[in-house]
Chains A and B, each alone.
Chain A
Amino acid sequence: MAKPSKHKPKSNLLENLLPTKEVIIACGPGGVGKTTSAAATALTIALNFDKSVLVLTIDPAKRLANALGLNGIGNKEIEISDETFKESKLKPKGKLSVAMLDTKESWDALIKRHAKDQATVDHILSNPLYKNITSKFVQSHEYIAMERLYDLHSSKDYDIIVVDTPPTRNALDFLDAPDKMADFFSSRLLKWLIAPYKSKLISLASKPFYQIADKVLGNQFLQDIAEFFIAFQSMYDGFVQRAESVKKLLSDTRTSFLVVSTLEQVPALEARFFVDELQKRSLNLDAVILNKVLPEHFRSKYETEIARNIQEQAKILSETLSKSSRNDSYGADTYEKVFLEIASSFLNFQKVAQQEAALESEFADLVSISTKVPFHSEPINDLNALEELGKQIWMQN
């Protein structure tokens, strides 16, 4: 079998991507290593290019926050210090900052930006329904993530922003969130619902609703809600305009999408669907990252044959080894168990690897960059481990 020639230098796949990109969005199903891949990508850029990079994470594991040298990542961006890099013996060419999305804080900031006066701000923020609404309504989490991204991008403080997307039931939700938000504020429903409280006159159309709703919930409760929405509606223009801008940024040529997945059945099919959907919407899907893939040798027929041989010859192998002159050898029974375990473990993982290969073929030739990252047997505990992961994703022979 031909091995890749050794003298050919490794090239960084990001080199082709970076000159024209300002936003990189890592998306895909939950639990596949999206956040870590986004962080590794941002670190790779900061290490190898003279760029100021920000990674905006949604819900980093403690381990990852620690790996970045940060005890608590907050809503505000924090730059990773020279000392932190020095401790890991890394010399970045650019700069790396990190921020975490705090939904509540970001919503508060959004209200403050759009409300016409301080009284409205106070009115909304102190409403008992506010927290509930911002945490639940029309994909609030997805929307606020994209809104925050837009805000950071407009600030021009960073050359590149890498963002990971919130875990959603549907990986596409964040793409639709700006539209849904605009719809929500322009909906006739909203006007219809609050009209009676504005004019004290219930229209014929909404009368049955109010009759039932009053019966179910009591009049006071509905009035509380209406009051809240009346205050909210005063921000209509600002919100809709903003949602439009956020949407534009997502489809801008300067924005690049990465789809991250593992080669397990459910996530892989979801990711595959997502690839189609991004392309259907003419969004810039530039790379697919297949994460936590079993090592290549599990797919080898040659090695599988060896594993079968070990299984068949376990008895004679162990008898021979137990008679060895070495003084640390074990009994034939123990060795036999060991050989059977080794072989069956290989054959088990080989089955998994074959399913991975089948799923991998679903992603063939879909995008210009497709990379496979092996199962890292060490957890990502520090910057060096993250750097290593970045190399595995982006450095290719």
Chain B
Amino acid sequence: MSDLLDKKLLFITGKGGVGKTSVATGLAYLASNSGKKTLICEVDPKGDLARSFECARTPYNGVEINENLKAMSMDTETSLREYLRLQLKVPVIGRIGPLAKAFEFVSTAAPGVREILTVGKFLYEVKNNSYDLIIVDASPTGHIVSQLAAPQALRELVKLGPVKSQTEWMIDILGDPNKTGAIIVTTTEEMPVNETIELSKKIESETNVHLSAVIINQVLPELFSSDEEAAFLTLSSEENMKTMTEMLSASPETVMEAARLAVTLRRMRSEFLEKLRDNIDSNIPQIYLPYRFNKLTGLKSVKATAAALADEIN
């Protein structure tokens, strides 16, 4: 699984609220610490990256987090300008306000235009070999497929011109499993698991990108081995309860009840772990990240996730 970080471009997706950003920042931190020149980008500029890395903001041009790590946010207007200048040799001076608006307007209608400005930026950086690894905190499950499939969609739509020829090398990079991979993040709950299974099928059928891993976040620990669980059951006998209550000078009933809840919670969720195992191609690694009882924020959280990922990946 360590080859995950040997790729050039990783798209991290998943249902909203499952911890996409946390996994993306953790992976980026891990990669940069192992000496890889890494770029992390958030596609929805909500400020999640800035919060995670405890910096004021993450502009389009990037901000240095540490020696090997840069963070940026996507901005389709700037990306358009860059695209026109670098790819089409059309210099655009000053603000392109109305032009960008019109372009945005058109791009809503045309499948792939807005998406290609996003995905194209990353692919361009891969082509130029600017980084060892680019990690994309990508769109949620509902939108990622249209982004990954954008170059293909555009190739079919645009009959000729420079855009068409550019879709070719983009499609090549996206389809190369050594270079590009998608990672779906999920928790062990019904909806995220269902969406993960659906998305894994869609990625396979509607894009040429390879699914590199499924990362299962917030996995609750197994409390007891089967032997321990049987022993736990004997504790509830009247006689044992009486002994314990005397020794502790208080009834342990509520604390034991809490353990029962922990067991039930874990059991309810293991049903979804099984569902993932049954429905995701067994060649695709499934990585488990343990539930964190100590809530951490900012860099501390990033470092903890990176450490947990390191345990699982290496």
Contact = CB atoms under 8 A, between A and B. Distances in A.
Contacts of A297: 254, 257-258
A335 B231 contact: yes
B293 A225 contact: no
A208 interface: yes
B56 interface: no
User: Which size bracket describes the interface of A in this complex?
Assistant: 35 or more
B88 A310 contact: no
Given A132-B111, A209-B102, A351-B293, A341 B259 contact: yes
A313 interface: yes
B267 to A, nearest CB: 9
A225 B17 CA distance: 35
Contacts of A301: none
A338 B224 contact: yes
Nearest to A312: B248
A377 B194 CA distance: 20
Given A136-B108, A225-B106, A345 B258 contact: yes
Contact of A216 (B88, B159, B255): B88
Interface stretch (A74-82, A104-112, A319-327): A319-327
Q: Which secondary structure characterizes the binding site on chain B? A: helix
B237 interface: yes
B84 A351 contact: no
B105 A189 contact: yes
Given A215-B161, A218-B160, A61 B46 contact: no
Nearest to B106: A225
Contacts of B262: 345, 349
B78 to A, nearest CB: 16
B113 interface: yes
Contacts of B256: 342
Nearest to A337: B228
A317 B232 CA distance: 13
B294 A351 contact: yes
B255 A31 contact: no
B204 to A, nearest CB: 21
A295 B261 contact: yes
A377 B163 contact: no
Nearest to B154: A217
Contact of B194 (A62, A193, A302, A321): A62
B150 to A, nearest CB: 12
A320 B242 CA distance: 12
Contacts of B252: 306, 310, 342
B120 to A, nearest CB: 12
Contacts of A348: 293
Interface in A110-151: 129, 132-133, 136-138
B206 interface: no
A192 B191 contact: no
Interface in B141-175: 157-163
In order of increasing CB-CB distance, the 7 nearest A-B pairs are: A31-B17, A330-B231, A348-B293, A30-B16, A137-B108, A377-B264, A342-B259
25 contacts: A30-B17, A31-B191, A61-B194, A62-B194, A169-B46, A169-B140, A209-B98, A212-B90, A215-B162, A216-B84, A216-B162, A216-B163, A220-B159, A221-B157, A221-B159, A329-B234, A330-B234, A334-B231, A335-B235, A338-B231, A345-B258, A349-B258, A349-B261, A351-B294, A377-B264
Interface of B: 15-18, 44, 46, 84, 88, 90, 98-99, 101-103, 105-106, 108-111, 113, 140, 157-163, 189-192, 194, 223-224, 227-228, 230-232, 234-235, 237, 239-240, 243-244, 247-248, 250-252, 254-259, 261-262, 264-265, 268, 293-295, 297
